[in-house]
Amino acid sequence: MSGQLCWLPKFRADGQLILHLRLEPYHPWKPYTNYPGLCVPDYPIPGGSKGWATSQKLLQAGWTIISTKQAQVFNKPLAA
């Protein structure tokens, strides 16, 4: 199985980035913790990036990394 990963804010107003995943390009981005079968424990480094260990695992498995800017552009809701 392969999918896409990117670093997005944990909360919309918060600047802290955490790993987000999606299994298909048309799926919404979800925090890596929503996929317990895919994520691995974070490294015990104070202030370390949330999801870094998981991102390394998934990149080695052939997942594609998407830039934060690109993911945010395509993740905006369509105007009515």
Tell whether 45 is covered by a domain.
yes
Q: How many domains does the chain have?
A: 1
Predicted pLDDT at 53: 96
Tell whether 79 is covered by a domain.
no
Q: Which domain holds residue 47?
A: 4-74
Provide the 10 A C-beta neighbour count for residue 43: 11
Predicted pLDDT at 13: 52
**What share of the chain in percent tops pLDDT 90?**
59
Mind listing the pLDDT tens digit for each residue in 19-55? Answer: 999 999 889 999 999 999 999 999 999 888 899 999 9
- CA atoms of 22 and 4, how far apart (whole Å): 5
Tell whether 27 is covered by a domain.
yes
pTM: 0.84
Predicted pLDDT at 15: 74
Tell whether 9 is covered by a domain.
yes
Tell whether 70 is covered by a domain.
yes
Tell whether 80 is covered by a domain.
no
pLDDT at 14 over 90: no
Provide the 10 A C-beta neighbour count for residue 46: 4
